[in-house]
Amino acid sequence: MSKKYERYIDYIVKDIEVPYFINMRDQYGLSPDEYEMILSKVYNQLVTIEGDYVYDEQDNKIYYEDSDGYWEKREYDVQGNIFYYEDSRGYWVKREYDTNGNLTYWENSDGDIVDKR
């Protein structure tokens, strides 16, 4: 990889925003075979892309995007529990779990809160 290309990739990784697939194609002119490299750097881990889905190293679905630009992002804790979800419509959910993986706290963008602590 040339230094110029490396700098360009680093620029994209720092600059890119969701929807990732649309922006990689339309804003940066990347080809689909470059998407995994970019998103691996964005997520700071090796990712795989299957269709419209991006998976992390533990095979967790961390990102989805459709051709209309709708997207969803998920973050997982070390036990594989989703602790954060967000979508392009502005909806989000935050969750907390105890050491046994039981849900202890939940809140969302609608103002709903469940606290079992």
Residue found by looking up tokens 């969750």 in the block: 95
Confidence of residue 117 (pLDDT cuts 50, 70, 90): confident
pLDDT at 1 over 90: no
Q: What is the pLDDT of residues 59-79, one digit of tens each?
A: 999 999 999 999 999 999 999
Query: Is the separation of the CB atoms in 39 and 47 below 8 Å?
Result: yes
Q: Which two tokens stand for residue 40?
A: 């691996």
Roughly how many angstroms between the first and final C-alpha of the chain, as a whole number?
Answer: 51
pLDDT at 110 over 80: yes
The pLDDT of residue 25 is 97
- Rounded-to-5 percentages of helix, strand, coil across the chain: 25, 30, 40
pLDDT at 3 over 80: yes
The pLDDT of residue 87 is 98
Q: Tell me the mean pLDDT in the region 15-31.
A: 97
CA–CA gap between residue 56 and residue 76 (Å, rounded): 10
The pLDDT of residue 77 is 96
Query: Is the separation of the CB atoms in 44 and 76 below 8 Å?
Result: no
Is the pTM of the predicted complex or chain greater than 0.95?
no
